[in-house]
Chain A
Amino acid sequence: DAGVTQSPTHLIKTRGQHVTLRCSPISGHKSVSWYQQVLGQGPQFIFQYYEKEERGRGNFPDRFSARQFPNYSSELNVNALLLGDSALYLCASSSLPPRQLNTEAFFGQGTRLTVV
């Protein structure tokens, strides 16, 4: 079975542009979370979706938005890109709803976004 897949793997954008990152969870997983990992730091929580509904949001500006589709894939959108948005964006999928024990988060390889 395929793991969590993210596209694209690498991306270069200019300040002020917008970007859309995509994630396909493991088959059968209905929960998708997004994390931002700045170089040399641990991943930081951005959003969590379950059954197409937002179930959690981290401390990120409104320039960041996301959605989940009926097939449970997800998109992360970032508007008005800043240099500080340069990071590895990770998607994780889980089989159970949020806040349930025994639900392991499986991470994709991430999308490396560089803003110049």
Chain B
Amino acid sequence: GENVEQHPSTLSVQEGDSAVIKCTYSDSASNYFPWYKQELGKGPQLIIDIRSNVGEKKDQRIAVTLNKTAKHFSLHITETQPEDSAVYFCAPMNYGGSQGNLIFGKGTKLSVKP
């Protein structure tokens, strides 16, 4: 089955700095690569995703890059703000696979200091 690892597990940055979280996966058949943000007391919320035929996707201050050869994808947040403080999860998935469910990493707790 899929083995998903996220690094770092915790990340503290100053407001305005950039943050990068990396996700490594093992299933070469994975073809969907989302990032979820979970705030305290809430369920995960999709913030950005990428398909396997695209190398990079950007949405305002957040971007995701994919390296299928090396089997990793990364979340980039620029100009961080205090409201970006949350736990971020990657959840690579193989659409069309036996289960078709999300497999989450252990999460990265991002703290943005004002």
A positions within 8 Å CB-CB of B: 4, 33, 35, 40-45, 48, 55-58, 90, 92, 98-101, 104-110
Contact = CB atoms under 8 A, between A and B. Distances in A.
B66 to A, nearest CB: 15
B114 interface: no
Interface of B: 4, 31-32, 36, 41-46, 49, 51, 89, 91, 95-97, 99-107
Contact of B99 (A56, A90, A106, A108): A56
B43 A45 contact: no
A11 B41 CA distance: 14
A8 B91 CA distance: 26
Given A35-B102, A90-B43, A90-B44, 15 more contacts: A33-B101, A35-B104, A40-B107, A42-B4, A42-B89, A44-B104, A45-B103, A58-B99, A58-B101, A98-B101, A100-B95, A107-B44, A107-B45, A108-B43, A109-B43
Nearest to B109: A40
A41 B106 contact: yes
Contacts of A101: 31-32, 51, 95
B81 to A, nearest CB: 23
A43 B104 contact: yes
Interface centre among A45, A104, A108 (most CB of B within 10 A): A45
Nearest to B94: A99
Given A41-B107, A42-B106, A42-B107, A99 B100 contact: yes
Given A41-B107, A42-B106, A104-B46, A56 B100 contact: yes
Contact of B43 (A42, A56, A58, A107): A107
Interface centre among A90, A104, A105, A110 (most CB of B within 10 A): A105
A56 B101 contact: yes
Nearest to B4: A42
8 contacts: A41-B106, A42-B91, A42-B104, A44-B104, A99-B96, A101-B32, A101-B51, A109-B41
